Each structure stands twice: as C-alpha cells, then as structure tokens.
Chains A and B, each alone.
Chain A
C-alpha cells in the first residue's frame, strides 16, 4: 500500500525557535496533502490543505504566518512552526492524496510528529 513518512517523529525545541516538519509520499505522487493537529484526548483538527505549486488553504483560526506550509513537489510538503510556544506542543499529522485518476477518496496518513516546546 501507499506509504507516507514524516520527519522527525519527535522533536523538542525551545520557545521562540522554529521547527520544520516534513511529509513525504514515498511510492506515489500527491497532488494534495493535508496537515492536522491533535491535542491530547482530542480529535484531529485540520489546519490546512496544501496543493503542489500553489498556496496552502488554511482553516479558520489557523495563523498562516505562524504555520508556514510549502508543497514544493508532488512528494514533499513541509510545515514550519515559527516562533514556537509551549501551547504549540501537539501531535502533527499529515495525510496525502494521490494524483487524480485514482480513487478520489484515497488518503494516506503519515505516522505523526510529536512536537514539544519547552
């Protein structure tokens, strides 16, 4: 089956620094990738939709200047948390949808990145 990887799996950073999280589709090309955030004991919250070669579409309440998304190729999207604060500590999960022509509902999740801001 299709595989999506995320790097790093865990990261600890100091308050005020920036952290970059990578999401890669390993064996397929992904026109669209999604970024989610999940706080403890809560469900996944969609942060933004990332389309290759265009600007990301952010959900209401998500600061686009704080959470920078770059979908530079059909296999890579990155999420950069800028000027991180302790309240940004969360589980960040990406998902990727294959290029059109496949089943439109297919969406494959990465394993997630645990971010802790101290």
Chain B
C-alpha cells in the first residue's frame, strides 16, 4: 500500500515564506505532484517532480528526494489568496494512478 503524510494545518504571515513537507512510502514510484485546492473546488496543478532536486516556478518551488521519500512545497511572498489546502500526491504503478495525501490547510494571516 501507500502512506503519504503531511501536516494537517499551518499558519503563516502575509509576505513570509512557508514550507509544507510531505513524506511518502510507495512501490513503483513514478513522480510526485503538489496541488492547491480551495474549499468546494477541484484541485489545481502546482508542480510535478520525478527527479531529485528543486523545481522552481515563480513564487512556488517543489523539492524531491526519492531516496528519503520526502518532498516539500515552498511558497514565497505569501499572499492572502494562498490560503487553501495543499495536497501532496504520489504517482505510481502501471496505470500511473495518483494517490493523495491528507492535505495541509494553510492559513495566511495579515
């Protein structure tokens, strides 16, 4: 089976930097996603890592270490609109199915 862990909730200040960690255990690993989800809406794609290292995309960066089963999402220059749930998801197996972690609810405060 798969086990994907994230902190349940985090709070950070507008303009600051926040790092959301994700650890996973899986077989047949093919890649790791980060999604953002606002309440009542479908997830929106943020990033995808398949190789070790840091992928930077604007204010968001994602890091992966396959040997450690570890990833993080880094959000810089936080804005109030960044308040949302952030979902770590692992892609695995022949059908490339994507399994989601529990999600981290981020609250950005003034």
Which chain B residues in 60-107 approach chain A with CB under 8 Å?
A: 85, 87, 89, 91, 95-103
* In-complex Cβ contact of A112 among B31, B33, B42, B100 (8 A): B42
Residue of B44, B45, B98 with most partner-chain A CB within 10 A: B98
Interface size class of B (residues with CB under 8 A): 20 to 34
Query: 1/0 per residue B34-53: CB within 8 Å of A?
Result: 00000011111100101000
Taking CB atoms and an 8 Å cut-off, the chain A residues in 41-64 that contact chain B are: 42-46, 49, 51, 57
Instruction: Enumerate chain B residues within 8 angstroms of A104, measured Cβ to Cβ.
Output: 30, 96
Q: Which residues of A contact B89 (CB under 8 A)?
A: 44
**What's the dominant secondary structure at chain B's contact region?**
strand
Whether A43 contacts B103 in the complex (CB less than 8 A), given A105-B31, A110-B42, A112-B41, comes out as: yes
B100 near A34 with CB under 8 A, answer: no
Separation of A49 and B41 alpha carbons in the complex (Å): 21
> Do residues A109 and B98 form an inter-chain contact, with CB atoms below 8 A?
no
Contact pick for A43, options B50, B96, B100, CB 8 Å: B100
Collect the chain B residues with CB atoms within 8 Å of residue A25's CB: none
Are B95 and A43 in contact (CB-based, < 8 A)?
A: no
A34 and B85 alpha carbons, distance in the complex (Å): 21
